[in-house]
Amino acid sequence: MIEGNKVRIRAVEQTDLDEIMKWVNDPEVIDNLLMRYPMSRYLEEKWMEKALDTSDMREKTFTIETKDGVYLGGIGLHKINWENRNAEVGIVIGKKEYWGKGYGTDAMLTILEFAFTHMNLHRVYLEVYDFNTRGIRSYEKCGFKKEGALRDDRYSRGKYHDTIIMGILKEEFEKIL
């Protein structure tokens, strides 16, 4: 368990599958993610098999829950590069009624603390679509800086959007603690 102030980050459990199926086909949620096509339970089970396999040192995927144990979503460090000590972070609060209440920011701060202090990573970065103002605001609060933009990288809602790259270095994170 990785304890935050409002959330707890824990291992993915098979029992999370029912909760994941509740948001994984909700356009309002997945519009912000890499996903695009309808997702079957079978494909989600395949995803879960990978998440349950902790032997892959380049991928660490977890579940976010409230302190009372309410499932909220997932967070993960991906493409972990142990030579350059960096990783891409991904986050989703699947329960929409919990958006905008500080849970995502707390989960991100918690995983950053874990990444820099316990995993000895040096840089954590993420990709976010330009229309995801809630996400961008949350990441800025965590200390992420905009590093660049992939112009017209994502076609969504009938037009092209930039994918923004944001990143934070260990020393920058330590200053905001």
Binding site for ligand COA (CB under 6 A): 29, 32-33, 73, 91-93, 99-105, 126, 128, 132-135, 137-138
Q: Which residues contact 74 (CB under 8 A, 6 or more apart)?
A: 12, 16, 20, 61, 62, 63, 64, 90, 91, 92, 94
Q: How far is the CB of 72 from ligand COA (least distance, A)?
A: 8
Report the residue number whose CB is nearest to ligand COA.
Answer: 104
Under 8 Å between Cβ of 159 and 177 = no
For ligand COA, the closer CB: 77 or 120: 77
CA distance 42 to 49: 11
For ligand COA, the closer CB: 70 or 120: 70
Q: How far is the CB of 54 from ligand COA (least distance, A)?
A: 23
Q: How far is the CB of 88 from ligand COA (least distance, A)?
A: 10
For ligand COA, the closer CB: 11 or 33: 33
For ligand COA, the closer CB: 116 or 139: 139
Pairing type for strands 7-11 and 60-66 reads antiparallel
CA distance 82 to 159: 37
User: Going along 43-158, which residue ranges are E strands?
Assistant: 60-66, 71-81, 86-93, 123-129, 145-156
Q: Considering all CA atoms of the chain, what is the largest pairwise distance in Å, rounded to the nearest integer? A: 44
Q: How far is the CB of 135 from ligand COA (least distance, A)?
A: 4
For ligand COA, the closer CB: 53 or 137: 137
CA distance 143 to 176: 7
Q: How far is the CB of 142 from ligand COA (least distance, A)?
A: 9
